[in-house]
Chain A
Amino acid sequence: MNNALIDPFILSQDYPETLTGKLKSGRATCIRFNRKGDYLASGRFDGTIVVFDMETNGIAHKLRGHVRQIQSLSWSRDGRYLLSSSQDWKCILWDLKDGSQIRTVKFEAPVYIAELHPSNHFLFVAALFEDQPALVDISEVKPYIQRLPSAPKRGTAYMDEQDEKQTAQDAKQATSITIFTSTGDHIIAGTNKGWLNLIETKTCKTIYSTKLCNGVLVYLRLTLSGRDMVSNSSDRIVRTIHVPDLSKSDLDPDSITIEVEHKFQDVVNRLSWNHVAFSCTGEYVSASTYMNHDIYVWERNQGSLVKILEGPKEELGVIEWHPSRPFVAACGIDTGRIYLWSIIAPQRWSALAPDFVEVEENVEYVEREDEFDIHPIEEIRKRQLDREDEVVDALIIEHKKDEDEADAFRMPVLLDIDDSESEDEIVAIGPGTMRRKSPGEGRDMGAGEKATARSRKR
């Protein structure tokens, strides 16, 4: 409700300008905003998941269950459930109401990425390391796992010619990334050979394939509307792609075309990109750079570079754009800090007193005719009270439909999160001497972790 009072120039600013903050809890390896943008989940190197409250920049939840680095996080639409995947071969669905693990799914391989179905939080798709991707239904306690194909679908005529060679090649295809479309009816999968497969969720069949690039498709991400997609691949090019409308009931797979809209690359330095993200509206694309400290922001209309975000003195990994504000979060690869970029609005001093006005140039004051007329105070009062005849509605709240849905779940406020098991990697080992904690130190498997943390505290 504060928009009416904020400088419109600030509101019209679309991308962040400066480094404004840091979040620190262990070594974050992946981050994800919830749909409303008030919470940021961060997966840590030690397997702990920390949920930050973006209003207070404090820790709202700590979830312990994984024992290896977290690979990906995915929120349910209402923000109540969180799916995490980890290098310990597990995916866990968390209920943030009480912090419990609702479902745990164990695979036979480490998980690259797992994403929840946009409307059904008991369905997710996971891309696995050197294995077929899986569509997992976890509505029952025992998960129902369906394997998805990695081999691209080719035209029939094409297939006849070099059948054997093709099959041999297709066998080498491995899916490196899977995401749902905005409706959840289809899955978009990227392979290590640069193919993009469109798989129908119901039948688990590939209905369309196209070759996007020659390198590995590392990452795919949709805009909030689901109309556009951004891809990161090992050929050092960031691509934005139009996603065709797949909602038609009589969809003809042959009529689908997926086209690349823009290709962003650094031709001079030949930078490669660690991670890519869309802005909240999808107008901007940002990418963190390999062996470099900057974040590049391009706009999609002209395809030009508009901003290089600087700040931290370390390489940045996963970046994430706030779903509604010009606000970017990225985690540092070395320290695991989460850096926040946003806009610093100067205090409008006209807000400090009702008769202050901000003017561009000096204005000569013109005295009004009756400015210093004296009226009896009583009369003035009476007139003022007279004027108060407006109809006032103090009750009705105007809601947007979207917000209602997101408001359905409210995360409980926990007052007893132990923040003390210390997030720093620097440990004092003697007077004046410090050393960096080796990764994984002080962490036993699973349950032992808390105990050691306690004993260290003592």
Chain B
Amino acid sequence: MPSYAEPSPSHSHSASHSPERRRVTPPSRSSNSAVSNYDSAAEHQHSPSRPRSQANSRSRSRSNSSHSRSRSRSRSRSQAGSDFHSDRPNGNGSYYSRRRTRSSRSGSRSSDSRSSSRSQSRAPTRTPSPASSDGARSVNSNDIRAAEAELLAAETAAEQGPPPRPFRAYRLKATLRGHKRGVACARFSPDGKWIASCGADASVRIWEVGSGKCIHVLMGHLAGVSTVSWAPEGGLLASGGDDKVIRLWNAITGEPYPVPLVGHHNYVYSIAFSPKGNMLVSGSYDEAVFLWDVRGARVMRSLPAHSDPVGGVDFIHDGTMVASCSSDGLTRVWDTSTGQCLRTLVHEDNAAVTSVRFSPNGKYILAWTLDSSVRLWNYVDGRCLKTYQGHKNAKYSLGGGFGTYSDGKQAFVVSGSEDGGIWLWDVTSKNVLQRIETAHEGVVLDIDAREGLLVSCGLDGCVRVWEVEGDEQEGEESDSKRALLDEDAMDVDAKI
């Protein structure tokens, strides 16, 4: 039995042989759920008092997204930057264009030989991934197929191994409005009670997850804010932006700490706290990675990191290493205590790397590249283990992360997409667990996951919170589509 979802008619035919599959595969059903899924999202986007017809909202969102795309801005951070620094050397479009070709480094020849020699021996055992990823790519335009793939994926994910509970889909819980421009980054606080978001309107906002209220608006940055990071304790929040400064805030009181971290020569792109909260790593447009002593507000170490703007940085869970990535196509791992480079990862295509995250256990690195891929690396061996594809990512530096399902035993990778969607892949099988079609109008820039919740933010200025279905009792809405969606979810549940 194939262990993946192939969204082609032939597959549904083959699936009908197995009794478990038949229950979920009827195309009419799945197309229905796709529509309903889509619809519920669309309804939430607009205030409940103004219900829109499905076609209407879809066309609107499309026009919006195309509009924002036509502005050719690379993520809201640089939008803000361009407003304040009109004398920027590179146009936004050219920023991510690859400046040099590293033919010497991109070992395409070696990979050729490897692939030919190895794949022969392994070819028969391995059908799953290409089809799923290729299939996912081809269904971009086709809602019905996507939904089918999604359902199948959920089903197959449930079939593999003996997980106690299958993947349960996320649905919209709340839309947090307040940012006046695109939102670049949104993060859950360590205790899960708060969300910090920041955007091109130079503000940082603290939201309460439970009520969806905006608790604080932290003003102080002089330009767009690209990144926020929570310290592990004490409600300490750091934000970095296009004014080259990293600011520290007490998120509980909303007060800023008086001494900002000053030292970068250009826009601060990405920051991350160490697990103890005593250090902060920052990556900047000035191509450097700085390690900061948070207590003393001083640069502890400057890492001669990259030859292009640094896109993302992250700390490993035990604080011994730091990862950084850049649009020069390199992902580097650094030793925190010595400041030395320990490993460099390059994919042979040498696509610009825009965002990087360590896995929760620190064994792998997840890297977003501008060839519409998210790659999982084993950084010890320097091997790319998985490629997650399907979403669209060619211009903006999208973010995402790891999440868990089936009682925290299984992991998924979540990422935004430039067509307004959110994608969730199973880490091992690379299957698409869920695809939220229109999560935002326009690009979804960043996503953070935490125990049954997702928070996403995008160029449309919204922050959206998503929760796992069936976790809470139904709210006020009881329309037929919602009911139908729930039935689907239950169906999957009942099968196990």
Residues of chain B contacted by A417 (CB below 8 angstroms) = 295
* Residues in B364-385 with C-beta less than 8 Å from chain A: 364, 376, 379-380, 382, 384-385
B423 interfacial by beta-carbon distance below 8 Å? no
Interface positions, chain A 35-72, Cβ under 8 Å from B, are 38, 53, 55-60
B-chain residues with CB within 8 Å of residue A394 when the two chains form the complex? 359-361, 363-364, 376, 402, 411, 427
| Choice from A2, A55, A372, A413 contacting B342 with Cβ under 8 Å | A2
Is B337 within 8 A of A415, CB to CB? Answer: no
Query: Residue B257 at the A interface, CB < 8 A?
Result: yes
Closest residue of chain B to A3, judged by CB? B320
Asked, given contacts A389-B128, A410-B232, whether A60 binds B278 with beta carbons under 8 Å apart, the answer is yes
**Stretch with Cβ within 8 A of A (4 or more), from B102-110, B173-181, B200-208, B437-445:** B102-110
Given A354-B382, A389-B128; A384-B296 close (CB under 8 Å): no
B345 interfacial contact with A, CB 8 Å: yes
User: Is the pair B129, A393 in contact by a Cβ cutoff of 8 Å?
Assistant: no
State which residues 345-399 of A face B: CB under 8 Å: 345, 347-348, 351-355, 368-375, 380, 382-398
Interface residues in B, total, Cβ within 8 A: 82
**A410 → chain B closest CB, angstroms:** 6
Whether A354 lies near B344 (C-beta < 8 A) is: yes
A1 interface neighbour in B130, B321, B344, Cβ under 8 Å? B321
- A157 proximity list for chain B (CB < 8 A): none
Given contacts A5-B333, A56-B293, A413-B278, contact A386 B130 (CB under 8 A): yes
Which residue of A2, A354, A372, A383 is within 8 Å of B346 (Cβ)? A354
B360 closest partner in A (C-beta): A395
**B110 touches which of A4, A6, A53, A371 (Cβ 8 Å):** A371
- Whether, in the assembled complex, A312 has its beta carbon less than 8 Å from a beta carbon of chain B, the answer is no
A253 CB–B CB distance under 8 Å: no
Look across to chain A and name the residue whose beta carbon is closest to the beta carbon of B275: A410
Q: Does A440 belong to the interface (CB within 8 Å)?
A: no
Is B430 interfacial (CB-CB < 8 Å)? yes
How many chain A residues sit at the interface, stated as a range, is 35 or more
Q: How far is the CB of B386 from chain A (nearest CB, A)?
A: 5
Say whether A412 faces chain B, with CB atoms less than 8 Å apart. Answer: yes
Q: Contact at A410–B387, with CB atoms within 8 Å?
A: no
Verify B116–A370 contact, CB threshold 8 A: yes
Task: Name B248's contact: one of A352, A397, A415, A419 (CB within 8 Å).
Answer: A415
What's the nearest-Cβ distance from chain B to residue A340, in Å? 12
Assuming the A-B contacts A1-B362, A345-B338, A380-B112, are A55 and B345 also in contact, with contact meaning beta carbons closer than 8 angstroms in the complex?
no
Among B110, B119, B336, find the residue whose CB has the most chain A CB atoms closer than 10 A: B119
B408 at the interface (CB under 8 A from A): yes
Across-interface contacts of A4 in B (CB, < 8 A): 380
A429 contacts the other chain (Cβ, under 8 Å)?
A: no
Q: Quick check: B337 and A55 within 8 Å, CB to CB?
A: yes
Q: Which residues of B contact A397 (CB under 8 A)?
A: 317, 360-362
Interface centre among B125, B342, B386 (most CB of A within 10 A): B342
Q: Is the CB of B387 within 8 A of A384?
A: yes
Choice from A387, A411, A414 contacting B126 with Cβ under 8 Å: A387
**10 pairs, A vs B, C-beta closer than 8 Å:** A1-B318, A4-B380, A55-B337, A347-B341, A352-B344, A384-B387, A387-B118, A393-B411, A395-B404, A415-B257
Q: Which 5 interchain pairs have the tightest Cβ spacing?
A: A394-B359, A5-B342, A56-B293, A2-B320, A383-B115
